[in-house]
Structure 1
């Protein structure tokens, strides 16, 4: 589903940097991202899943959050505020 997020952001005019994670490294990266998200144990709170989207250097969410904010019309203003989109 990473390609869905990437294509949608490209379609909006955002040129997102993409970091691919090898399958064998996924668990380590998920734990690290969970800690960034405020979950010190890496097991509670919101489960971080790929694709993971950062906006303005902050963890934004995954596919569901990106799609939901796009559908409600909230995504473009968020991207503008972060300086990721120039309209």
Structure 2
């Protein structure tokens, strides 16, 4: 039987069967997941990689802005004050 994963946290879902119905439960999120929203292993991998790429881009942008701000603040300390004369 194929494993399915949570669309929010990508954890493996527990499958419950009873009275002809099937339900999926995420232990991490503590919620029932609709059959229409569950992810296969391949879908979960694709989505998690996509999220990691977005996170990596954001982290790189944040780091470059942080470095630029530090360089600007250290350069402002090196400039001489204007003379009044």
Greater share of strand: 2
> Which of 1 and 2 has greater Rg?
2
TM-score by length of 2: 0.25
Greater length-normalized contact order (CA 8 Å, ≥ 6 residues apart): 1
